[in-house]
Amino acid sequence: MVRRIPAGRVMTYGQIAELLGDGYTPRTVGFCMHSSPDGTPWHRVVNAQGGCSTGKVVLPQDKQQRLLELEGVVFDKNARCDLQQFLFIPRTKSQKRENVSLYKRKPSTRGEKR
Residue 112 lies in a domain: no
Q: What is the CATH number of the domain that holds 24?
A: 1.10.10.10
What is the spatial distance between Cα 34 and Cα 67, in angstroms, rounded to a whole number?
Answer: 16
pLDDT at site 59: 76
pTM value? Answer: 0.78
Residue 67 lies in a domain: yes
Residue 65 lies in a domain: yes
Residue 114 lies in a domain: no
Report the domain count for the chain. 1
- What sign for the dihedral angle of Cα 41, 66, 60, 87? negative
Residue 14 lies in a domain: yes
Of 86, 101, 104, 103, the closest CA to residue 44 belongs to 86
Per-residue model confidence as pLDDT tens digits over 31-75: 988 888 999 999 999 999 999 988 777 678 899 999 999 999 999
Whether the bond between 41 and the residue before it is cis, its omega within 30 degrees of 0, is: no
pLDDT at site 93: 65
Which range marks the domain in which residue 52 is found?
Answer: 2-99
* Highest averaged pLDDT of the listed ranges 21-25, 57-61, 102-106: 21-25
What is the spatial distance between Cα 25 and Cα 15, in angstroms, rounded to a whole number?
Answer: 9
Residue 107 lies in a domain: no
Residue 108 lies in a domain: no
Residue 83 lies in a domain: yes
Per-residue model confidence as pLDDT tens digits over 71-98: 999 999 999 999 999 999 998 766 555 5
More confident residue, 12 or 54: 12
Q: At what angle do helices 13-20 and 26-34 cross, to 10 degrees?
A: 110
Q: Buried b vs exposed e over 2-15: b needs ≥16 C-beta within 10 Å?
A: beebeeebbbbbbb
